[in-house]
């Protein structure tokens, strides 16, 4: 074999007291690492969220030399920490091939080659087949789906045709060096373990704000589902207590979703499940009841906006009144509902942004996440933003306007956060977790026992950020 020992690295470092990003394993790089097992003599998978010692570049380099690692593969998936990861990569040894992949790497090929001179290859899109050819030392010009340097220029090979999801080997969980649990700033909040299962790839919908299934050349990942039997077999071999189905929408095919629920029950798989869905699932009471019976506890719902003009701009396919109607039905089932929203949209006023928490309370969402609008290379919203006076889109997809700068939008985000997440709301969330049996009383007791340490860490962080007084005023005073 060309390479003896390959390192597969998740480069994200979590040091925030309120971060839950270490909750689930980096399933994307685990898929790629699993596909590479027969192409190298030895393979090591490292997640820096759990390897604090190796977050220091000198310690990591020492580890690489001591282990005899002769090729390094890194997954860059998210927008966050992009500059920090690039700086980190610059310190990697120049005599060891550095392969970079993942969604964010796919999106920022040119930038990566510009700022990280030691990157050998960027793998675009799904990398399971591509990594095998790289490790077999196939000439770069013959490998589909990669970008590489040649004579000082970046060369983009043709896209690789994407295989059906059912043909891709599921992750080998024995490669992991840790169990994934809920820890905030090294405070363990529960002994429960978490895992991720991907039952399908791609999405059949075409929401205008979303380009997650596109690579830099505009290739879309069409919806491809695995066989029910394959998913059940993976669940049987997964030891975690809580499973997130990371499909873009687990309920694209209601018939298949019902079959999966039935199979989970028939095989006596006793786990707690979380899944992403569209709110139209409210129209299928049979499916909702099967989900409850199978152990589904939480649905992650992309609502995006409480305003019809924004929903139409996104081409979501529903109105705010339909959202209200759907939630009237959803509330009949003992499930936890987490909603996603986007703020800073084109033509959106501060008053309209600040209505997000009020709307979320009105429809009785249990919790929310809100993100600033991003407009990527192939987003249908890009042309609208460029044509709208006063709006600007950066090379990284960040959008701002003359009226709402990045700094102003950040302040609005904090107002949204504290308007929704009051101390009373946090107690309501805990009660809901108990009511739907997401946590047992014993698990809640453990959480309450460690909560003082968590509170101390949060307060320490606010003081370090020099915003404690501002946070207190946001919590206890009415913000105008």
For 369-412, the pLDDT digits (tens) are 999 998 877 778 888 888 999 999 987 788 999 999 999 999 99
What's residue 382's pLDDT? 84
Is residue 157 a contact partner of residue 143, using CB atoms and an 8 Å limit? yes
CA dihedral 445→450→451→457, nearest 10 degrees, is -170
- Over range 103-123, report the average pLDDT: 93
Task: Of 208-212, 343-347, 352-356, give the lowest mean pLDDT range.
Answer: 208-212
* Contact by Cβ (8 Å): 250, 244: no
Which residue blocks in 184-319 are alpha helix, DSSP H? 228-236, 254-266, 285-294, 308-314
Least confident of 339-343, 390-394, 446-450: 446-450
User: What is the structure's pLDDT at 62?
Assistant: 97
At 233-286, the pLDDT tens digits run 999 999 999 999 999 899 999 999 999 999 999 999 999 999 999 999 999 999
Q: Of 398, 420, 409, give the one whose Cα is nearest residue 344.
A: 409
pLDDT band per the 50, 70, 90 thresholds, residue 17 = very low
Least confident of 43-47, 200-204, 209-213, 469-473: 469-473
End-to-end CA distance of the chain: 65
pLDDT of residue 391: 94
CA-closest candidate to residue 32, choices 5, 10, 1, 53 = 10
Please report the pLDDT score of residue 479 as a whole number: 46
pLDDT beyond 50 at 480: no
- Residue 283: its pLDDT value, please? 96
Superfamily of domain covering 168-442? tm_1862 like domain (3.80.30.20)
Q: What is the dihedral sign for C-alpha 467, 411, 301, 245? A: negative
CA triple 307-430-461, angle to 5 deg: 80
Query: What pLDDT is stored for residue 105 in this prediction?
Result: 92
Helices (H), 15-127: 27-35, 57-67, 82-90, 103-107, 109-115
Average pLDDT, the chain: 89
What whole-number distance in Å separates Cα of residue 47 and Cα of residue 366?
A: 31
Residue with tokens 């030691």: 118
Tell me the pTM.
0.88
Domains of the chain, by residue range, sit at 5-165, 168-442
pLDDT in tens, 273-327: 999 999 999 999 999 999 999 999 999 999 999 999 999 999 999 999 999 999 9
Bigger pLDDT: 402 vs 461: 402
pLDDT at 305: 97
What pLDDT is stored for residue 403 in this prediction? 95
Of 45, 48, 46, which is closest to residue 15 (Cα–Cα)?
48
Cα Rg of the chain (Å, integer): 23
Q: Does the structure show a pLDDT above 70 at 330?
A: yes
Question: Where is pLDDT greater, at 261 or 453?
Answer: 261
Provide the CATH number for the domain formed by 5-165 in this structure: 3.40.50.2300
Q: Residue 458 pLDDT > 70, yes or no?
A: no
pLDDT in tens, 47-76: 998 898 999 999 999 999 999 999 999 999
């Amino acid at each position: 074999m060309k390479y003896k020992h390959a390192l597969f690295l998740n480069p994200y470092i979590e040091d925030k007291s309120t971060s839950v990003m270490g909750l689930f394993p980096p399933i994307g790089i685990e898929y790629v690492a699993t596909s590479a097992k027969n192409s190298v003599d030895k393979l090591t998978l490292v997640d820096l969220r759990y390897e604090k010692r190796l977050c220091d570049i000198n310690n990591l380099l020492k580890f690489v030399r001591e282990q005899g690692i002769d090729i390094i593969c890194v997954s860059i998936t998210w927008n966050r920490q992009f500059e920090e990861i690039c700086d980190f990569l610059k310190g990697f040894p120049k005599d060891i091939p550095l392969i970079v992949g993942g969604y964010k790497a796919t999106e920022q090929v040119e930038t990566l080659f510009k700022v990280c001179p030691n990157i050998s290859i960027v793998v675009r899109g799904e990398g399971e087949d591509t990594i095998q050819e790289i490790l077999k030392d196939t000439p770069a010009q013959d490998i589909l789906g990669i970008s590489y340097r040649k004579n000082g220029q970046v060369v983009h090979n043709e896209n690789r045709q994407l295989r059906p999801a059912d043909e891709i080997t599921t992750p080998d969980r024995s490669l992991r060096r840790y169990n994934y649990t809920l820890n905030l700033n090294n405070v363990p909040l529960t002994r429960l373990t978490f895992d991720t299962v991907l039952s399908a790839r791609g999405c059949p919908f075409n929401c205008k704000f979303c380009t997650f299934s596109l690579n830099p050349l505009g290739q879309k990942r069409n919806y491809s589902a695995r066989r029910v039997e394959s998913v059940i077999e993976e669940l049987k071999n997964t030891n975690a207590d809580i499973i997130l189905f990371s499909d873009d929408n687990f309920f694209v095919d209601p018939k298949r979703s019902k079959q999966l629920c039935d199979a989970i029950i028939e095989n006596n798989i006793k786990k707690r499940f979380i899944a992403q869905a569209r709110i139209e699932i409210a129209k299928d009471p049979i499916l909702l009841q099967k989900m409850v019976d199978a152990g589904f506890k939480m649905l992650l719902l992309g609502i995006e906006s409480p305003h019809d003009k924004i929903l139409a701009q996104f081409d979501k396919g529903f109105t705010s009144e339909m959202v209200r109607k759907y939630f009237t039905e959803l509330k009949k089932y003992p499930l936890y509902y987490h909603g996603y929203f986007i703020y800073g949209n084109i033509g959106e006023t501060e008053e309209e942004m600040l209505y997000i928490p009020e709307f979320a309370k009105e429809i009785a969402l249990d919790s929310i996440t809100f993100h600033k609008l991003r407009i990527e290379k192939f987003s249908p919203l890009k042309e609208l933003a460029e044509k709208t006076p006063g709006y600007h889109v950066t090379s990284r997809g960040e959008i701002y306007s003359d009226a709402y700068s990045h700094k102003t939008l950040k302040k609005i985000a904090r107002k949204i956060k504290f308007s929704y997440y009051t101390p009373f709301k946090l107690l309501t969330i805990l009660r809901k977790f108990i009511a739907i049996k997401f946590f047992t009383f014993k698990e809640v007791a453990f959480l309450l026992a460690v909560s003082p340490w968590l509170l101390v860490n949060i307060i320490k962080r606010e003081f370090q950020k020099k915003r404690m007084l501002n946070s207190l005023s946001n919590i206890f005073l009415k913000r105008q």
